[in-house]
A and B are shown apart, each in its own frame.
Chain A
Amino acid sequence: MPDKSSTSTADGDRPDESTPLQFDDEWEARASERLSETEFDTELGIELAKDAQRVVAGELSERAFHEKHHDAVRDEFGEDARLLDAVLTEREESDEGEGVASRVSSLFEDESSRREFVKKGGAAGMGLSMLLGSPDAGSASTAPAEDADAEDTRLGMVINLNNCDGCLECVTACKGLHGTSRGAHWIYVMAYTDPDLEHENFFVRTCMHCANAPCEKVCPVGARHTREKDGLVLTDYDICIGCRYCMVSCPYGANYFQWGDPDSPRQNDHFTHDERDVWVDGPPPNGAMGKCTFEPAWQDGQAGEKLVGTTMCEMACQRDAIHFGDLNDPESDPNQHLEEYRANHPNDRSEFEDRNPDTVSTFRAMEERGTEPGVIFIGNEPSVHAEQVEGPVTYEDKGLIDDRKSEILDDGPAGDDDGGELA
């Protein structure tokens, strides 16, 4: 498997400042195609985008840019004119030479409201988003983030399978935090043997929080969605109709449906609802779909700054196998771990200098399915001949249910008293 774990952040090509900007037919066709997906004026969007780039290139002043498009933008979107006035005013007041992008951004309280505006702006969003460096933000809100820009936050994991000893601490901790029903393992550790490998190996299956998530694509109601702020793939429990199409389309088997009433009562809203006040975490209500979330409320700082940038499974892991963070940030924990691990496993290049610099094998699971998974594994990828076996610590040892179907679901709602799926 080719190593695709490089997380270098791509700098956008800056236009050559010595020559006027050129927009070729291909650029226009691409822009037109993207804008035609929105309900707004394609022509205006293209003009905005061109002029926005001219501003960046220094060919057009910001004032000229805003004055030129002020009326057209307001007519098209009915969007707050004060926004642009504010930019102009601030421009006059400011003697700093900072770019328009940062100041447009600063008008919003936070990233999410900026994105909200960009989304609403549609066509204008394309122009603005080019300035702001997120070309995907102008597309429809429900479109899978196929073109996730390197500069966007992309929360994900590097899971070092070589460090995993199959202790199931992560599984237990996850279950404890999220209160999922018995047998619903949002993180699931599989011990396996493989004819190609000598020892027992482990595979840790979380949700891959794919950038091109099939589950999101097929969801008929948009309940499964990517949080624009950080790329987390979440389920809006309030609108999920429970058709299970996401489960059917996910190649990894990461989804767990709520077949009966949840074992645990609903947790506090501070954990279950993220900063957008969308119910995305904790046990799903009866008839809705759940899966690994990477703790969105923690990432939003709702449980304090200490828990921002970590997940329960990462905290529970005693073997330093799970590393959570922004995959697009070279300084993040996952990228740092990968770098260090590589540095600690140098290849012997004394004889053959074209050899890889390190001996570390990495992979993204089933990448060939086009899902763009957000979890990078260090270790060997299980082959098609790999077979799951009982691990050193069994699910039973930890008081967990492995086969939810035969141990829980097949019993049906045998007795209502306990309120759970077994009950």
Chain B
Amino acid sequence: MSTGTSPEAILRPIHTYSRRYVATVAIVLALIGFWLFLYAQQLQHGLIVTNLGDWGSSAGVPWGLYIGAFIWWVGIAHGGIILSAAVRLLGLDTYQPVARMAELLTIAALTCAGLFILIHVGRPDRLVTSVVPAWPTRVQWSPLMWDVTVITAYFVLTATYLLLTVRYDIHRLREQLPDAFEPVYKLLMVDYSETEDAVVERMVWWLAFAIIIMAPLLLHGGVIPWLFALLPSMAGWEGGVQGPSFLSIALTSAVSGIIVIAAVFRSAYGWEELIPEAVFRGLAKWLGFFSLMFLWLQLQQVITGVFAAPTTLQHATEVKLATPTYWVAIGLVVVALLYIFATVLRPSLFDIRVMAVLSIGVLLGTLIEKTLFVVEGLQHAHFQLYEGVPGPYIPSIVELSAIGATVAIVAMFFLSVSKVIPVVELHAVEDEEEVN
């Protein structure tokens, strides 16, 4: 192979500094700043600055875009690490060049999910003082507490995983890394010795094993859907299908996220050889498969909801089908699926840029679907007497700006981290060299 897969190539983001980079940082910071300004209003006045309201006599929706976005980010976080864990566990070496990006995406996305919990609650000042003392007695009851627990455990697992694998690279590339970040490297490399590599490899295998069991079964196929599936009051939420359905959406959005990030890095740093097209073709097939699962599970819900369902479920499903934005969401996923199917039949049709754009569409579609799920689930309850229910809900600018800000936070995370550590593992290059 050419120099495109040399260690120098993976250090390119650290050594280059372009005007485009500065412009991107500026845009990203502007988005975050805009949200911070609006969020300050929320802190000052309360959640009245959102378009949320009380369910019941005042026909509001108490959970809205914040919760939809929370689910979305957790979903993205999931798939990222599942893919990375699969690379290590099953030896899917093709995807090794994007494994670390997937891990970094997981960390960033989980942070955003946590942020949404923080901005969703009415009293963020009490998150520590109320949650910590209540944990031992409430964890056995409250799905929200299960959620916080599993996400925290998952964050720790992922961070450990990333830390262990990055030490190998830093040790070998230390000479070529900028001295300005010396304290960071020192901290990351505490007590490192080459003898740990073999041990770390085994540890990472077990961590990957834990993640691949925990992420699909416990997190996005477990505690997150259980927030809704266990509530009998809301017709659109209750039911066992939510676990698989949430998981399919998580995987769909996560693979889309990885495609987008990998495509951006590939384009920005000329990584055509480091991240070959085969990686994208492979990811696209996975995306196609998960999209199909997503659509199939939607079909299951729609059919059970309209055929001979109890009146409230039937009503909730009919409203869902009559909502144009639902069809936008489904349409975005269908378009991506059709394109992927077409490129399998005619490989010459495949284009990474088209795939990246369609992936952004899928990300948007999944966000819409999750938010609609939360909102419409609340609007069509079993208790139907309230005249105003279902009331309207259109997210306020404060809520919408938080979506922009969290996307910006993830971007900022990648923009920063890529200047400090290699976002592609050294292993990806080494293996390539061994093969050649």
Contact = CB atoms under 8 A, between A and B. Distances in A.
Contacts of A142: 137-138, 141
A404 B54 contact: yes
Contacts of B161: none
Given A188-B56, A220-B144, A248-B378, 14 more contacts: A140-B137, A188-B57, A203-B385, A214-B232, A222-B137, A240-B122, A244-B63, A245-B143, A247-B54, A251-B232, A253-B389, A257-B62, A366-B382, A412-B49
Contacts of A387: 385, 387
Interface stretch (A43-51, A88-96, A258-266): A258-266
12 contacts: A220-B148, A221-B126, A221-B131, A247-B56, A255-B56, A257-B62, A260-B47, A261-B45, A384-B311, A386-B385, A406-B391, A421-B48
Nearest to B41: A413
B45 A413 contact: yes
A54 interface: no
A190 B138 contact: no
B96 interface: no
Given A223-B130, A287-B122, A369-B382, A412 B48 contact: yes
Given A218-B144, A388-B386, A403-B388, A258 B57 contact: no
Nearest to B131: A221
Contact of A241 (B127, B143, B311, B381): B127
Interface in B114-159: 120-124, 126-127, 129-131, 134, 137-138, 140-145, 148
B59 interface: yes
Interface string A341-382: 000000000000000000000000110011000000000001
A410 interface: yes
Interface in B368-392: 378, 381-389, 391
Interface string B31-62: 00000000001001111110111111111101
Contacts of B58: 183, 256, 402-405, 409
Interface of B: 41, 44-49, 51-60, 62-63, 120-124, 126-127, 129-131, 134, 137-138, 140-145, 148, 231-234, 311-312, 378, 381-389, 391
Interface of A: 140-143, 183-185, 188, 190, 192, 203, 205, 214, 217-223, 239-245, 247-261, 286-289, 365-366, 369-370, 382, 384, 386-389, 402-406, 409-410, 412-413, 416, 421
A287 B386 contact: no
B381 to A, nearest CB: 7
Contact of B45 (A247, A260, A384): A260
B201 to A, nearest CB: 39
A213 to B, nearest CB: 11
B137 A241 contact: no
A405 B46 contact: no
A84 B122 CA distance: 46
Contacts of B385: 190, 192, 203, 382, 386-388
A244 B62 contact: yes
Contacts of B391: 405-406
A251 B382 contact: yes
Given A241-B130, A253-B57, A404-B57, A370 B232 contact: yes
A214 B233 contact: yes
Nearest to A237: B123
A373 to B, nearest CB: 12
Nearest to A144: B141
Contacts of B233: 214, 249-251, 369
Contact of B57 (A250, A260, A366, A402): A402
A222 to B, nearest CB: 5
Given A183-B58, A188-B57, A259-B52, A248 B47 contact: no
A219 B59 contact: no
A412 B44 CA distance: 12
Contacts of A416: 45
Given A223-B130, A239-B126, A248-B231, A259 B142 contact: no
Contacts of A365: 383
Given A243-B144, A251-B381, A404-B54, A413 B138 contact: no
Contacts of B41: 413
A223 B145 CA distance: 13
Instruction: Please give me the 9 A-B residue pairs with the lowest Cβ-Cβ distance, nearest first.
Output: A242-B122, A253-B56, A287-B122, A404-B58, A260-B48, A251-B233, A388-B387, A405-B53, A413-B45
